[in-house]
Amino acid sequence: MNHFHYKDGVLCAEDVRLDLLAEAAGTPFYCYSSATLQRHYKVFSDALPKGSLIAFSVKANGNLAVLKTLARLGAGADVVSGGELCKALAAGIPASKIVFSGVGKTSAEMRAALEAGIYQFNVESEPELAALNEVAGSLGLRAPTTLRINPDVDAKTHAKITTGTAETKFGIPFTRAREVYAHAAAHRHIEIVGIDVHIGSQITDLEPFEAAFTRVAELVTSLRADGHSITRLDLGGGLGVPYENSNMPPPDPDAYGKMVSRVTKGLGCSLSFEPGRLIAANAGVLVSRVIYVKQGEAKTFLIIDAGMNDLIRPALYEAHHEIAAVVEPAVGSPRPKYDVVGPVCETSDLFASDRPLPELKSGDLVAILSAGAYGAVMASDYNARPAAAEVLVAGEHWGIVRPRESYADLIAKDRIPDWLAD
């Protein structure tokens, strides 16, 4: 469920009309619904075993206003860079609720996280383990650490967002888990606290989760027998969302929570989770204006002012996003097929192919739905296109939470060396 709906013939975010926001913020712009963020967080939180840490995946949506909205609900953060760590702290997320993941943590990032006092590091390799031990030692600290174990489970999702098979760069092979934990225990400044597992993103079937979590539960017993203190399980994120109206709905969070409780029962571990898409995807839309309707040889192209630099998921993952007219179409009105494209000079700048939509003309507004996760965070200024504005709505209130970048902002990023100066 989300809080984007038609009211008096116009698509609204909660109680705010998107056409009025377009006048104020310009197009394209991202719009996020506070009520949807809050609802999705609560539904997921209520489904999990009591006391679980929900560490929102900052890579899904790093806007400070979004992070602060979730922080006020009690969310922690899963970060994968020093920049995301800074954002999480700036948004008011306590360091004690921050998990640092990722395969390429630098020594500087480790130092910043240790000095902040984060909840734990999810370590993905032996070289990283050695580096973390060295940095922690230089500070006279012990780093709370889990090892990310790759259970070699196929998540049955897109190849570019699966992370739990043996062919990916993520994690430590399950077959070497006990060996690497023994290695970790020999480091004076590493405090082993648990196990981490994350098999991928946009997973719509509970079976891969259960298979992975069952393997990890068995590993807890083995590692404890080896003398390790395993008190935490980080079970990652990955629960999918419905991008298409025609799709069967993904697993209900309640069913997911019951499966987790069953598999982890009796282990006595505190649990943490790293949802991102589940909370943010359907809490955001990308609003764009039609520039031209172009009749091609075999297709009709709807050319809009948002491009793949604003939302790269369709180009990168062949991802589907529903598209809605901001002005509600009349019941039974024609729905011609369009290729919905942006202005970027790439054939891959395509949001939808042969998509039935209401008849649209130059100047009309459309909303690309389910764009709250992996939208603005993956944007670029390719073709020297300034970053889109971001807007947060709460009931009848709204605010621009990231101003539109100007051409002057773009130019200011570059520097002319002395020998080229006039």
Instruction: Give me the active site residues, please.
Output: 345
Span between the terminal Cα atoms of the chain, in Å: 57
Distance CA 223, CA 225 (A): 5
Distance CA 22, CA 288 (A): 8
Neighbouring residues of 133: CB distance < 8 A, sequence distance ≥ 6: 143, 187, 188, 189, 190
Sign of dihedral through CA atoms 137, 138, 139, 144? negative
Distance CA 3, CA 127 (A): 46
Question: Mapped to the 3 state alphabet, what secondary structure does the chain carry?
Answer: CCCEEEECCEEEECCEEHHHHHHHHCCCEEEEEHHHHHHHHHHHHHHCCCCCEEEEECCCCCCHHHHHHHHCCCCEEEECCHHHHHHHHHCCCCHHHEEECCCCCCHHHHHHHHHHCCCEEEECCHHHHHHHHHHHHHCCCCEEEEEEEECCCCCCCCHHHECCCCCCCCCEEHHHHHHHHHHHHCCCCEEEEEEECCCECCECCHHHHHHHHHHHHHHHHHHHHCCCCCCEEECCCCECCCCCCCCCCCCCHHHHHHHHHHHHCCCCCEEEECCCHHHHHHHEEEEEEEEEEEECCCCEEEEECCCCCCCCHHHHHCCCCCEEECECCCCCCCCCEEEEECCCCCCCCEEEEEEECCCCCCCCEEEECCCCCCCHHHCCCHHHCCCCEEEEEECCEEEEEECCCCHHHHHHCCCCCHHHCC
